[in-house]
Amino acid sequence: MSGPNFSNPVVRWIDHRLPVFTFMHHEMHEYPTPKNLNYWWNFGSLAGIVLVIMLLTGIILAMHYTPHVDFAFQSVERIMRDVNHGWLIRYIHANGASFFFIVVYIHIFRGLYYGSYKAPRELLWMLGVVILLLMMATAFMGYVLPWGQMSFWGATVITNLFSAIPGVGEWIVTLLWGGFSVDNPTLNRFFSLHYLLPFVIVGVVVLHIVALHRFGSNNPLGIDVRGKQDSIPFHPYYTVKDAFGLGVFLTIFAAVVFFMPNAMGHPDNYIPANPLVTPAHIVPEWYFLPFYAILRAVPDKLLGVLAMFAAIGVLFILPWLDRSPVRSATFRPLFKIFFWIFAANCVLLTYLGGKPAEGTYVILSRLATVYYFFHFLILLPGLSIFETPKPLPRSISQPVLGSGTAGASKENS
Amino acid sequence: MAETHEGATRRDFIHVASATMGAVGAACVAWPLIDQMNPAADTLALATTEFDVSGVEEGMAVTIVWRGKPVFVRHRTAKEIEEAGAVDIADLPDPQADGDRAPKPEMLVLVGVCTHLGCVPLGQKATDPRGEWGGWFCPCHGSHYDTSGRIRKGPAPTNLPVPPYEYISDTVIRIG
pLDDT tens, A315-373? 999 999 999 999 999 999 999 999 999 999 999 999 999 999 889 999 999 999 999 99
Q: Of A59-73, A205-219, B95-109, where does mean pLDDT reach its minimum?
A: B95-109
pLDDT at residue A411 in the model: 43
Q: Per the CB < 8 Å rule, is A88 touching B32?
A: yes
pLDDT, mean of residues A97-101:
98
Parallel, antiparallel or unpaired: strands B151-153 and B165-167: unpaired
Q: Is B171 on the interface with A (CB under 8 A)?
A: no
User: Which fold would CATH assign to domain B44-175?
Assistant: Rieske Iron-sulfur Protein (2.102.10)
pLDDT-derived band at A5 (thresholds 50, 70, 90) equals: confident
Q: Residues A171-203: pLDDT tens digits?
A: 999 999 999 999 999 999 999 999 999 999 999
Taking contacts as CB-CB distances below 8 angstroms, the residues of chain B near A89 are: 32-33, 36
In the predicted model, is pLDDT for residue A27 greater than 60?
yes
pLDDT at A403 over 70: no
Q: Which residue of A has its CA nearest to B40?
A: A83
Task: Report the pLDDT value the prediction gives residue B91, as an integer from 0 to 100.
Answer: 87
Q: Could you give phi then psi for residue B12, rounded to 5 degrees?
A: -60, -40
A375 is catalytic: no
**Contact yes or no for B32 and A84 at CB 8 A:** yes
Amino acid at A106: I
**Could you tell me what percentage of chain B is helix, strand and coil, using 3-state DSSP and rounding each to the nearest 5?**
30, 25, 50
Question: Following CA atoms A109, A110, A113, A117 in sequence, which dihedral angle do they give, to the nearest 10 degrees?
Answer: -90
Model confidence at A33: pLDDT above 80: yes
Which residues partner with B153 through β-bridges?
Answer: B144
Closest CB from A60, A83, A89 relative to B40? A83
Q: What is the distance between the alpha carbons of residues A231 and A396, in angstroms, rounded to a whole number? A: 9
User: Are A85 and B43 in contact (CB < 8 Å)?
Assistant: no
Rounded to whole angstroms, how far apart are CA atoms B30 and A88? 12
3-class SS of residue B50? strand
Closest Cα in chain A, distance from residue B7 (Å):
20
Cβ atoms of A321 and A310 within 8 Å: the answer is no
Span A131-170, pLDDT tens digits = 999 999 999 999 999 999 999 999 999 999 999 999 999 9
With b meaning 16 or more CB within 10 Å and e meaning fewer, what string describes A20-30? ebbeebeeeee
Instruction: Look at B42 and A78 and tell me if their CB atoms are within 8 Å.
Output: yes
Say what the pLDDT of residue A410 is.
43
- The answer to whether the CB atoms of B33 and A60 lie below 8 A apart is yes
Cβ count near A357 (within 10 Å): 14
Chain B hits for A64, CB-CB cut-off 8 Å, are: 36, 40
pLDDT of residue A140: 97
User: Could you give the CA distance from residue B162 to residue B90 in angstroms, rounded to a whole number?
Assistant: 20
- Nearest-neighbour CA in chain B from A411: distance (Å): 12
Active-site residue (options: A45, A98, A116, A217) = A217
Digit-coded pLDDT (tens) for A267-311? 999 999 999 999 988 889 999 999 999 999 999 999 999 999 999
Distance from CA of A330 to the nearest CA of B (A): 35
The percent of residues above 70 in pLDDT, for chain A, comes to 96
Predicted confidence at residue A1, as pLDDT, reads 45
What are the counts of helices (DSSP H) followed by strands (DSSP E) for chain A?
17, 2
Residues of chain B with pLDDT under 50: 1-3
Q: Is B2 on the interface with A (CB under 8 A)?
A: no
Local structure of B158: helix, strand or coil: coil
In whole angstroms, how far apart are CA A163 and each of A168, A175, A304, A333?
8, 11, 12, 44
From B147's Cα to the closest Cα of chain A, the distance in A is 40
Give the pLDDT score at B5: 54
Cβ within 8 Å, pair A86-B38: no
Of B33, B35, B42, the CB nearest to A82: B42
Residue A85 with chain B: CB contacts under 8 Å: 32-33, 35-36
Helix or strand run (H / E) with residue B29? helix B10-35
Note the pTM of the prediction, 2 decimals: 0.89
Answer yes or no: do A60 and B35 touch at CB < 8 A.
no
Catalytic residue among A29, A68, A213, A301: A213
Query: Cβ of B29 under 8 Å from any chain A Cβ?
Result: no
Averaged pLDDT, A372-384: 97
Output the pLDDT for position A11: 95
What gap in Å lies between CA A51 and CA A73, rounded to an integer? Answer: 25
Centre a 10 Å sphere on the Cβ of residue B14 and count the other Cβ atoms it contains.
10
Tell which of A82, A92, A232 to mutate to test the B interface (max B CBs under 10 Å): A82
Of residues B32, B33, B41, nearest to A82 (C-beta) = B41
A242 counts as catalytic: yes
Q: Which residues of B are tagged catalytic?
A: 141
Q: What is the mean pLDDT of residues A59-86?
A: 97
Interface test with B, best of A52, A84, A413 (most B CBs within 10 A): A84
B33 and A64: CB-CB below 8 Å? no
pLDDT for B4: 52
Q: Does B36 touch chain A (CB under 8 A)?
A: yes
Reported as half-sphere exposure (CB side, CA atoms, 13 A), residue A120 has a value of 8
- Residues in A touching B43 (Cβ below 8 Å): 82
With cut-offs at 50, 70 and 90, classify the pLDDT of residue A77: very high
Q: Which of A64, A82, A85 sits opposite B32 (nearest CB)?
A: A85
Contact A63 B37 (CB under 8 A): yes
pLDDT category, A409, cuts 50, 70, 90?
very low
pLDDT of residue A2: 53
Among the listed residues B36, B33, B17, B125, the one whose alpha carbon sits nearest the alpha carbon of residue B72: B125
As a whole number of angstroms, the distance between CA A166 and CA A174 comes to 14
| pLDDT given at position A408 | 42
Q: Distance (Å) from the C-alpha of residue B163 to the closest C-alpha of chain A?
A: 25
| Numbered residues of chain A with Cβ closer than 8 Å to any chain B Cβ | 56-57, 60, 63-64, 78, 81-86, 88-89
Number of H helices, E strands in chain B: 4, 9
**E strand or H helix at B138, and its extent?**
strand B134-138
- The mean pLDDT value of chain A amounts to 94
pLDDT at A75: 97
Residue B154, phi-psi category: left (phi > 0), alpha (psi -120 to 50), beta (remainder): left
Interchain proximity B36–A63, CB inside 8 Å: yes
Q: How far is A56 from chain B (nearest CA, A)?
A: 9
Q: How far is A389 from chain B (nearest CA, A)?
A: 41
Give the start-to-end residue ranges of the domains of chain B.
Answer: 5-35, 44-175
Whether A78 and B38 lie within 8 Å, measured CB to CB: no
For residues A222-233, average pLDDT: 93
Is the dihedral angle over the CA atoms B138, B141, B146, B150 positive or is it negative? negative
